[in-house]
Amino acid sequence: MDAFKLLTRSTKLKPSIAKTASKPLPSAGKAQNPQLFRNSESSRLGTKRKRGEDGEKADDEEDDVNLDFFSSSKGLPSLAKADASNGSKKTADEKVDSDEEEASDAERVKPMEEGEKRSILKTHKIKITDLRDLEEIQPLKTTKEPKKKKKKQESAPVLTKKQQKEARRLYPQPLTSFPKLRSRYQISRRLSANIAEQGFTVPTEVQLGSLPLLLGDDSLPKPSGSEASEPDLLVVAPTGSGKTLSFLIPVINKIVRQHHQSPEERGILSVIVAPTKELAGQIVNEGRKLTLGTGVKITLMRKGMRVVDREEDDQQDEEDEDDEQSSGSEDEEKAAAQKDSKKSTVTKSDILVTTPLLFVNALTASQTKDPAPLPTVKSLILDEADVLLDPLFREQTLTIWRACTHPQLRVSLWSATMGSSIEELTKSTIKERRESLDIAEEVPLIRLVVGMKDSAVPNITHKLVYAATEHGKLLGLRQLLHPTSSVTPTETRLRPPFLIFTQTIPRAVALHSELMYDIPLEAGGSSRIAVLHSDLSDTQRSEIMKRFRKGEVWILVTTDLLARGVDFRGINGVVNYDIPNSAASYVHRVGRTGRAGREGGIAVTFYTKEDIPYVKSIANVIDASEKLRGKDVSEKSVQKWLLDALPDLSKKDKKELKKHGVKARQSSVKDEKDAKLHKKMRISTKSGFDRRMENKRKGAVVGSRNRKTQGPDGQESGSENEGWGGFDD
One domain for residues 444 and 473: no
pLDDT band at 728 (very low <50, low <70, confident <90, very high): very low
Judgement on whether residues 367 and 490 belong to the same structural domain of the protein: no
Instruction: Give the model's pLDDT for residue 657.
Output: 87
Cβ–Cβ < 8 Å for 276, 269: no
Question: What are the pLDDT digits (tens) for 651-678?
Answer: 888 888 888 888 878 776 555 556 666 6
Q: Write the pLDDT tens digit of every residue in 566-604.
A: 888 788 899 999 999 999 999 999 999 988 777 778 999
Same domain, 466 and 444: no
Residues 441 and 489 in one domain: no
How many CB atoms sit inside 10 A of residue 360's CB? 20
- What is the pLDDT at residue 17? 38
Please say which residue of 450, 470, 489 terminates a domain: 450
Residue 364 lies in a domain: yes
Please indicate, yes or no, if residue 368 is contained in any of the structural domains. Answer: yes
The answer on 591 and 553 residing in a single domain is: yes
Amino acid 88: pLDDT: 41
pLDDT in tens, 46-57: 444 444 444 444
Half-sphere exposure (CA, 13 Å, Cβ side) for 252? 31
- Quick check: 172 and 217 in contact, CB under 8 A? yes
What total of structural domains would you count in the chain? 2
Of the residues 428, 450, 472, the one at which a domain ends: 450
pLDDT of residue 333: 53
Shared-domain flag, residues 486 and 556: yes
> Is residue 117 predicted with pLDDT exceeding 60?
yes
**Span 74-111, pLDDT tens digits:** 443 333 333 434 444 444 444 444 544 544 454 445 77
The stretch 351-379 carries a mean pLDDT of: 86
| pLDDT (tens digit per residue) in 157-191 | 677 878 888 888 999 999 989 999 998 999 999 99
Write the CATH number for 280: 3.40.50.300
Q: Of 598, 510, 523, whose CA–CA distance to 553 is shortest?
A: 523
Closest CA to 569 of 589, 586, 555, 549: 549
256 and 394 together in one domain: yes
My answer on whether 552 and 417 are in the same domain is: no
Its domain, for residue 240, covers: 114-137+160-172+203-316+342-450
Q: Which of 42-51, 176-185, 442-451, 685-694 has the lowest mean pLDDT?
A: 42-51
**Does residue 178 form part of some domain?**
no
pLDDT of residue 641: 85
- Domain membership flag for residue 259: yes
- SS3 for 535-592 is CCCHHHHHHHHHHHHHCCCCEEEECHHHCCCCCCCCCCEEEECCCCCCHHHHHHHHCC
* 365 in a structural domain: yes
Using the predicted structure, report yes or no on whether residue 306 has a pLDDT greater than 60.
Answer: yes
Give the Cα separation of 139 and 119 in Å (integer): 28
How does the average pLDDT of the chain come out, rounded?
76
d(C-alpha 588, C-alpha 658), whole Å: 14
Compare 453 and 205 and report the one with higher pLDDT. Answer: 205
Is 622 found in the same domain as 586?
A: yes
Same domain, 438 and 487: no
Kindly report, residue by residue over 268-295, the tens digit of the pLDDT. 999 999 999 999 999 999 999 999 999 9
**Looking at the domain assignment, is residue 721 inside a domain?**
no
Contact residues for 298 (Cβ-Cβ < 8 A; gap 6+): 284, 287, 288, 291, 349, 350, 351, 352, 353
Residue 726 predicted with pLDDT over 70 = no
Please state whether the peptide bond connecting residue 497 to the residue before it is cis, i.e. omega within 30 degrees of 0: yes
Q: Provide the pLDDT for residue 82.
A: 37
Average pLDDT over residues 705-722: 59
Flag whether pLDDT at 219 surpasses 70: no
**Predicted local confidence at residue 241, as pLDDT:** 87
Considering the domain architecture, whether residues 543 and 588 belong to the same structural domain is answered as yes
Residues 354 and 391 reside in one and the same domain: yes
Which of 450, 472, 492 is the endpoint of a domain?
450
